[in-house]
Amino acid sequence: MSAFVYKADPVRGRVWAEVFARQAEPELDFRIWPEIGDPAEVHYLAAWDPPADIRDTFPNLKLLFSSGAGVDQFKFDQLPADLPVVRMVEPGIIKGMVEYVSWAVLSLHRDMPAYQRLQREHSRWMPIQVRPAAKRCIGVLGMGSLGQAVLGQLRSFGFDCAGWSRSRHAVDGVRCFAGAEELGALLSRSELLICLLPLTEATRGFLNAELFAQLPAGASLIHVGRGPQLVEADLTAALASGQLKHAILDVTDPEPLPSSHAFWQHPQIWLTPHIASMTQPETAAEVVLENIRRFEAGEEMVGLVDRGLGY
């Protein structure tokens, strides 16, 4: 008997169970934590928060899947060095992120924050000149599957798009920058900056005063990476000085923000509660099953984490 354990939201887990029942049983028995059955039979685990003593709990574990897009919640120093870790790369996450970033970019491009302020004043009917998308420069930090999908959609609107990542990429219709030496060139042209970077030691505190100073005056930030990447005091200072005009934050540190936090009432900040994209359980289960097939066939898996890079 080979078993798969799901350790995350049990409501979504029941959808996973239905997919496994259709596509994997009886070869692979699906179990929802904490009903794990015989631990020795468990070869595969999907979790947001895996058990601390994972090798003792599951002595024959072959693969660990993240139930979400990120893996920064995993404590890699507590995981067996020989245990492959796979992050979630599934269509639902990608589509959700494309929708959210498109909404955020279009809201800023068409001056929706300004119109909201005018509406609150009750008496000011003041049209703002519409600027063609082709004359608006967009910069995306992070050019993985999410970043490339976002850039593809924004290009379809006609925006002047550029992307930056640690390693070199080539994307049709997008100016691509790579490495620390080219970051400044990306920032200097980015009127709307979108952060889609994974959280690593290298990206912790990445969105800081030094970075904001390299953006065009009056630029705006859309942050859909991870909360610890943003230096909050530097953001509020950049907004106060006019270096930044607006920020849309889907991630914060901590989450949720305490009710006393200044971001709740800040007139230049829009907050959403980490909902830019969510794993869709049916397609996520199908992607995991395909990765198990690839693993057993000795093929390359989608989303296999490079522990040296942290993603």
Q: Check residue 204 and give its pLDDT.
A: 97
Q: So what's the pLDDT on residue 129?
A: 96
Instruction: Annotate 149-160 with DSSP letters as a single string.
Output: HHHHHHHHHT-E
The answer to whether 3 touches 42, Cβ cutoff 8 Å, is yes
- Three-state SS string over 13-66 comes to HHHHHHHHHHHCCCCEEEEECCCCCCHHHEEEEEECCCCCCHHHHCCCCCEEEE
Taking a C-beta distance cutoff of 8 angstroms, is the pair 254, 232 a contact? no
* Domain segments of the chain as ranges: 2-90+279-296, 92-271
Residues shown for the chain = 311
Mean pLDDT by 10 residues, the chain (311 residues): 95 96 93 97 96 94 94 92 95 96 98 95 90 98 96 98 96 97 98 97 97 98 98 98 98 96 97 96 97 97 92 86
State residue 311's pLDDT score: 86
Residue-level pLDDT at 305: 96
pTM value is 0.92
- 87 noted as active-site residue: no
How far is 17 from 101, CA to CA, in rounded Å?
A: 31
Q: CA 284, 285, 286: angle at the middle one, nearest 5?
A: 90
111: left (phi over 0), alpha (psi -120 to 50) or beta: left
**Helix spans in the chain (H):** 10-23, 54-57, 91-109, 112-120, 145-157, 180-188, 209-213, 232-241, 281-296
Name the active-site residue from 12, 189, 226, 246.
Answer: 226
Predicted confidence at residue 94, as pLDDT, reads 95
CATH domain 92-271 topology:
Rossmann fold (3.40.50)
The domain made up of 2-90+279-296 is a member of CATH 3.10.20.30 = no
8 Å CB contact between 290 and 178: no
User: How many alpha carbons fall within 13 Å on the CB side of residue 294?
Assistant: 14
Residue 30's CB is within 10 A of a number of other CB atoms, namely: 19
Tell me what pLDDT residue 310 has.
84
Query: d(Cα 279, Cα 287) in Å, to the nearest integer?
Result: 11
Q: Which pLDDT does position 111 carry in this prediction? A: 98
Residue 245 tokens, joined: 């005009």
Q: From CA 169, how far away is CA 265, in angstroms rounded?
A: 39
- Catalytic residue, chosen from 266, 274, 294, 307, is 274
At residue 43, the pLDDT reads: 98
Residue 169 a catalytic site member: no
Please report the pLDDT score of residue 74 as a whole number.
93
